[in-house]
Amino acid sequence: MCGIVGYVGARSVVDVVIDGLRRLEYRGYDSAGVALVFNPDGADSYLEVDKKAGKLANLEAVLAEQDRSLEAACGIGHTRWATHGVPSDRNAHPHLSADGRVAIIHNGIIENFGQLRAELEATGVEFLSDTDTEVAAHLLGREYAVDGDLTEAMTRVCTRLEGAFTLLAVAADDPDTVVGARRNSPLVVGLGEGEYFLASDVAAFIAYTTEAIELGQDQIVTISRADGITVRGFDGEPSEGKPFSVDWDIAAAEKGGYDTFMAKEIHEQPQAVADTLRGRIDEAGQIVLDEVRMSDQDFRDIDKVFIVACGTSYHAGLVTKYAIEHWTRIPCEVELASEFRYRDPVLDRSTLVVVISQSGETMDTLMALRHAKDQKARVLAISNTVGSTIPRESDAVLYTRAGIEVAVASTKAFLTQLAACYLVGLHLAQVRGIKYADEVSAILDELVAAPGKIAKVIEHLEPVREMARNSAGKDRVLFIGRHVGYPVALEGALKLKELAYLHAEGFAAGELKHGPISLIEEGTPVVAIVPSPRGRSLLHDKIISNIQEVKARGAKVIAICEEGDAITASHADFVIETPATPTLLAPLLTTVPLQEFAIELATAMGRDIDQPRNLAKSVTVE
């Protein structure tokens, strides 16, 4: 969380920084601020800081009132997701050192800030904010005063900080330098012609360059028009980052005619899932996962699977458990990353830990992966973000290729995670010879057909919108499902909670009678995810009973069911049909109406779809 940008180059610094912040606002939008260094001809250079609580637009309004006749020489900008201190002007970044000579911005949490603050206060430093970041500003100012070298000063400061941090700093009397540092938090460098960018994410500079450098753990980078880029470790030793090219362009980071990024991303799902599958199934029907860096023998050696993730990615993991256990007969557990390492799970060399993370930066998931590696388990990352920390630290990686997802509420990330997880499950089944080849091949055919079916679901969303609008006045919405429909119910409820700020809850349909059914009163909307009446018809019959139970207590039932399911149609108040597909693959289709339901209901309630309150897309704190 928190988006950070730094720039040196010939373009309008303030424009580049604000443009970058706009593209990073998904990372946090509690406040925003910039620090710009000006270098007027024949005069001393100086630093100006502007910051404002609320969304970036508030800061832009402040900047619009200023004299723009002089261009800054370099600058940094920050968009905040509050951790220490309420969202306010004073807690907004950048923060200044006591002498006002350096300005700093920060993403992460400085865990020993209390001790450092006490130490600084004991020497007479007066704090102007409640943030953990301000200790870094004062320490940096103090070190900078020693030799006037911002890189050296940052190096010394980093050795004093504990926790997770990306820091960017500028100094009033050094108009050609921005210094960055990273530990457990993302930072990438953008390389232009005589211009350099630092940012939490390539989205910030994709309008200007697709060439980038990924920084490693505990590295410090200095960008300067005169001297280019230098990278060193926290130990001061010269180092280097890893160059890469970004394979998407600015159009992907725009709304492309949709009202919201989320609407755009829902519509991108057929293509995104097709991209996940592309080139990973060969003509002989074998799944080819060469890129994951795990041999067939590695897959054969596995005797237990853990899937570890948060939020929507955790729901993808829950679906995957059903698939992996059914297809491979290997026991599979799914864990919330934030709980995983604290309960001392039983892991060893033959355990495969699959970590799922769209951003590749989620701190809870990163810490779980490190724990798994400490216990000698093999870690496979499923991620959407090339070069991010989680794939980098994993033994193996399968990228989902969803393209940039800007809306805070995950949509295409979820569907592509499912597709990637299905590939892993089917690959395990193939290399272990558990399933007959023709069975795997039949499922693969269905998987390949999924993008077309998702497109069909998207074409017929108008009835969902109408039902969502009808539910707008309600104070709660319940979601029920069985088998893979249960995680879909959880995901539908999560989408509605985060977008509409409504009490929405997902339940295993059979569990309702053990307590939650008391939530139902006259008119309560209950969304039921109904499995196909073909195949596991027992499941279908059971959920029909559950539908009857809630209807008997006044619920209005919206059923998501397979096309032609006359039994469900005769019991539910409203029906949304999805194309027929095998039960285990059904979440690829049944989730989509729930995404649209959430977006429409939240829109009817006047909510901010892409940036719901209190949230950030990339959660880089524990």
By CB under 6 A, what part of segment 454-493 binds ligand M6R?
A: none
Q: Return the number of the residue (404 or 619) whose C-beta is nearest ligand M6R.
A: 619
User: Hey, what amino acid is at 50?
Assistant: D
Q: Which of 129, 313, 568, 590 binds ligand M6R (CB under 6 A)?
A: 313
Q: Is 97 in the site for ligand M6R (CB under 6 A)?
A: no
d(CA 375, CA 196): 40
Q: Return the number of the residue (101 or 495) whose C-beta is nearest ligand M6R.
A: 495
**Secondary structure of residue 221 in the 3-state scheme:** strand
What is the helix (H) or strand (E) element at residue 492, kind and residue range?
Answer: helix 485-500
Minimal CB distance residue for ligand M6R: 311
Q: Return the number of the residue (435 or 495) whose C-beta is nearest ligand M6R.
A: 495
Piece in contact with ligand M6R (CB under 6 A), picked from 192-200, 238-246, 263-271, 358-366: 358-366
Piece in contact with ligand M6R (CB under 6 A), picked from 51-59, 351-359, 453-461, 556-564: 351-359
Tokens representing 397?
A: 């990686």
Q: Return the number of the residue (313 or 416) whose C-beta is nearest ligand M6R.
A: 313
User: Hey, what amino acid is at 288?
Assistant: V
**Secondary structure of residue 54 in the 3-state scheme:** coil
Catalytic member of 264, 321, 412, 617: 617
Least separation in angstroms between residue 388's CB and ligand M6R is: 9
By CB under 6 A, what part of segment 522-581 binds ligand M6R?
A: none
Q: Which of 91, 177, 328, 358 binds ligand M6R (CB under 6 A)?
A: 358
CA-based nearest residue to 593, from 568, 558, 546: 558
Q: Return the number of the residue (179 or 490) whose C-beta is nearest ligand M6R.
A: 490
d(CA 405, CA 264): 10
Ordered DSSP codes for 468-485: HHHTTT-SEEEEEESTTH
Q: In 189-310, which residue ranges form alpha helices assigned H by DSSP?
A: 261-267, 269-277, 296-300
Tokens representing 618?
A: 């990339």
Least separation in angstroms between residue 487's CB and ligand M6R is: 13
Q: Return the number of the residue (328 or 357) whose C-beta is nearest ligand M6R.
A: 357
User: Strand 525-529 and strand 476-481: pairing?
Assistant: parallel
Piece in contact with ligand M6R (CB under 6 A), picked from 233-241, 408-416, 425-433, 559-567: 408-416
- For residue 357, give the DSSP letter: E
Q: Return the number of the residue (172 or 409) whose C-beta is nearest ligand M6R.
A: 409
Q: Which of 311, 387, 481, 525 binds ligand M6R (CB under 6 A)?
A: 311
Least separation in angstroms between residue 351's CB and ligand M6R is: 21
Piece in contact with ligand M6R (CB under 6 A), picked from 23-31, 87-95, 310-318, 437-445: 310-318
By CB under 6 A, what part of segment 15-74 binds ligand M6R?
A: none
Q: Return the number of the residue (191 or 494) whose C-beta is nearest ligand M6R.
A: 494
Listed in sequence order, the residues at least 6 apart from 358 whose beta carbon sits closer than 8 Å to its beta carbon are: 312, 313, 383, 384, 385, 400, 402, 405, 410, 413, 417
Q: Which of 133, 177, 351, 410 binds ligand M6R (CB under 6 A)?
A: 410
On whether the CB atoms of residues 115 and 134 are closer than 8 A, the answer is: no
Ordered DSSP codes for 83-148: SSS-SSTTTSSPEE-TTSSEEEEEEEEETTHHHHHHHHHHTTPPP-SS-SHHHHHHHHHHHHHHHS
Q: Return the number of the residue (82 or 220) whose C-beta is nearest ligand M6R.
A: 82
Here's the x/- map for ligand M6R, 132-171, by CB under 6 A: it reads as ----------------------------------------
- Apex CA 178: angle with CA 177 and CA 181, to 5°? 135
d(CA 573, CA 554): 11
Least separation in angstroms between residue 357's CB and ligand M6R is: 3
Verify whether residue 551 is a known catalytic residue: no
CA-based nearest residue to 125, from 146, 112, 115, 139: 139
Sheet harboring 351-357: ordered strands across? 332-336, 304-309, 351-357, 378-383, 396-399
Q: Is 367 in the site for ligand M6R (CB under 6 A)?
A: no
Verify whether residue 617 is a known catalytic residue: yes
Listed in sequence order, the residues at least 6 apart from 543 whose beta carbon sits closer than 8 Å to its beta carbon are: 480, 481, 482, 485, 509, 528, 529, 530, 531
Q: Which of 109, 302, 310, 424 binds ligand M6R (CB under 6 A)?
A: 310
By CB under 6 A, what part of segment 493-512 binds ligand M6R?
A: 494, 498
Least separation in angstroms between residue 566's CB and ligand M6R is: 34
Q: Is 365 in the site for ligand M6R (CB under 6 A)?
A: yes
Catalytic member of 2, 310, 421, 561: 2
Q: In 239-395, which residue ranges form alpha helices assigned H by DSSP?
A: 261-267, 269-277, 296-300, 311-328, 337-340, 363-374, 389-393
- For residue 537, give the DSSP letter: H
Q: Which of 139, 203, 274, 408 binds ligand M6R (CB under 6 A)?
A: 408
CA-based nearest residue to 542, from 579, 571, 516: 571
Q: Return the number of the residue (312 or 471) whose C-beta is nearest ligand M6R.
A: 312
Q: Which of 5, 543, 557, 619 binds ligand M6R (CB under 6 A)?
A: 619
Piece in contact with ligand M6R (CB under 6 A), picked from 60-68, 89-97, 353-361, 529-537: 353-361
User: Strand 574-578 and strand 351-357: pairing?
Assistant: unpaired
Least separation in angstroms between residue 513's CB and ligand M6R is: 28
Least separation in angstroms between residue 410's CB and ligand M6R is: 4
d(CA 113, CA 223): 27
Q: Is 357 in the site for ligand M6R (CB under 6 A)?
A: yes
Q: Return the number of the residue (195 or 268) whose C-beta is nearest ligand M6R.
A: 268
Number of residues counted as binding ligand M6R (CB under 6 A): 15
Piece in contact with ligand M6R (CB under 6 A), picked from 5-13, 28-36, 402-410, 467-475: 402-410
Q: Which of 362, 416, 583, 603 binds ligand M6R (CB under 6 A)?
A: 362
Residues paired with 379 in a beta bridge? 353
Ordered DSSP codes for 149-195: -HHHHHHHHHTT--EEEEEEEEETTEEEEEEEEEESS--EEEE-SS-
Q: Is 359 in the site for ligand M6R (CB under 6 A)?
A: yes
Catalytic residues: 2, 617
List contacts with ligand M6R (CB under 6 A): 310-313, 357-359, 362, 365, 408-410, 494, 498, 619
